[in-house]
Amino acid sequence: ITCNGKAADRINQDGIHILINMNGYTKGARNEIFALRPAPLQVMWLGYPGTSGAPFMDYIITDAVTSPLRLAHAYSEKLAYMPHTFFIGDHAQMLKHLTERVILKDKCAPAEKDNVAVVNATNLEPLLSKADVK
């Protein structure tokens, strides 16, 4: 639904009780829908970790690092703290059973001490064929 008013009406008609804004003030966000207050409880989470500053947002799902309690006065929302991080993919909590690290060493480039590369891939075969895994 491209019309914000019609989208808000549909959310309300569908009886949505909690509406979560996962974009905040990022490209493509449709905060105007939230301004129309289509749900009784409206929550900020994930895409924008700061306050909306808007009276129509009730809570922000956050953590103590992102939103220290001493700064709660700066938020228009009530702070709803997650125990470790507000991200779903909290590696330390989800994958506690994985204690062993895999270290990849590139054959073509000398390893530098304290040099870290972050790899996010679904197919590691090309990378593994060029690396020594120890």
pLDDT at 26 over 70: yes
| Segment 42-94, tens digit of pLDDT | 999 988 889 999 999 999 999 998 999 999 999 999 999 988 888 766 666 66
Per-residue pLDDT averaged across 124-129, rounded?
Answer: 62
Confidence band, pLDDT 50/70/90 cuts, at residue 112: low
Q: What is the pLDDT of residue 134?
A: 45
119 forms bridges with which residues in the sheet? Answer: none
Euclidean distance between CA atoms 24 and 51, whole angstroms: 9
pLDDT, mean over the chain: 83
What is each CA distance from 72 to 78, 100, 112, 131, in whole angstroms?
A: 8, 38, 41, 47
More confident residue, 47 or 107: 47
**Per-residue confidence at 133, pLDDT binned at 50, 70, 90?**
low
SS3 at position 125: helix
Strands 41-44 and 59-62: parallel
Q: What is the CA radius of gyration of the chain?
A: 21
Q: Which of the residue ranges 18-22, 79-83, 97-101, 127-131 has the most confident prediction, judged by mean pLDDT?
A: 18-22
107 vs 32, higher pLDDT = 32
pLDDT at 127: 58
Task: Quote the pLDDT of residue 94.
Answer: 67
- Separation of CA 82 from chain center: 12
Q: What domains are there in the chain, each with its CATH number?
A: 4-91 (3.40.50.11380)
- Contact criterion met (CB below 8 Å) for 21 and 43: yes
